Every structure is written in C-alpha cells, then in structure tokens.
Structure 1
Amino acid sequence: MHNHHHVGVGRVTGSCHQLTLDVGRAALVDCGLLQGAEAGPDGAWAEQLEIGFAMAPMAALVVTHLRMDPVGRLPSLAAAGYRGPILCSPVSAALVPEDAL
C-alpha cells in the first residue's frame, strides 16, 4: 500500500488523500476544499477546484464526514469523471438529499 496526499498535508482544510491498494487500484479518502487563509488571500480560486489526478484507478471514495473541508470538491470530482461508489457512515448518508445521488 502507498499513500499520496493530493491536498491536506500540513493544513487543517482540504483533505484529499489517495490510498493505492495494489497495481491499478486506489481509494480516495475525502476530496475537500481549502478554506479561510489556506485558500489564499482572495479565497477559493478555480485552480484549487480542479482535480489533478487520474480517475481510472479510483475504486471508491471514502468520505470521513460531511463538511466543506472533506467533501467540497465532490462536484469537481464528478466533473473529472469519477463514477465509483461513495462510502460513508449511515448518518452521513442520511444527510445527503436523495436527488443529489
């Protein structure tokens, strides 16, 4: 196994970590948005919303909890082509509107 930290190392917000499971397969843990001072002096800009990694190896997305810092870039992830399962707790799943799935 190997970890790659796309965003979130040394920061409080913007969690986005890739856990490589084996050759050709990985799981993404969160896909968050930088906030506050970590987003820069002008706040969130388009470049930080972009997904700069391949979707092909992603077997699943694991969501740790529902706040902007761990899930704020989910629309960008979908726009980048992610179509795999999203795994979260039953409590988190109950908070997501049905039409959002």
Structure 2
Amino acid sequence: MQVFVRDNNVDQALRALKKKMQREGIFREMKARKAYEKPSERKTREKAEAVRRARKLTRKQAIRDGLIAAPKRPARDVRGPGRGARASAPSAPSAR
C-alpha cells in the first residue's frame, strides 16, 4: 500500500493511508488476530456474516424492484458537513 506525501503535508497523507486501510479491512483483521479464535467460533461468525450479506442483498433487490420503500435519508445542512460560519458568508473577490 502506498501513499504519496505532497508539499510536505504528512497529516493529509496519514489520513489518506488510514482511509485506504479502513477500506481494505486491515483494522478489522488486526483486531481479529489479536486473540485466538476457536474453529467453532469462526464457523459461527462466518455463517452470521453470510446471513447478514444475504439479507442485505435481498433488501437492496427488493428496494430496486419497488417491493419495499427505501429508507428515509436524514435532512442535511445546506452548507454541508463540517462547514462553519465562513461557508455561509459571501466571499469577496480576491485581489491576487
């Protein structure tokens, strides 16, 4: 896994690396390998994960087919997440 550091911005590169690791499931695997998992527990967990995936797939297919309504999305702020007072103020043209 590789992340490039641009303009000596290590914090941004670290965030990108963590996001990649999260997507790949590395954190979940590290947590699982921290302690021994008995084979019977592993089978039980894998079966539960398979059931969860199957239910999710069935639910998505039913939503696509129009059999059930899609879940309501929460109302979002117009400015978007993480926007402070600066985002709502009109910006003045810069003299660059």
Superposition TM-score tier, normalisation by shorter sequence: under 0.3
Structure having greater relative contact order (Cα 8 Å, sep ≥ 6): 1
**Structure showing the higher strand proportion among its residues:** 1
Task: Give the structure with higher Rg (CA).
Answer: 2
TM-score normalised to the size of structure 1? 0.18
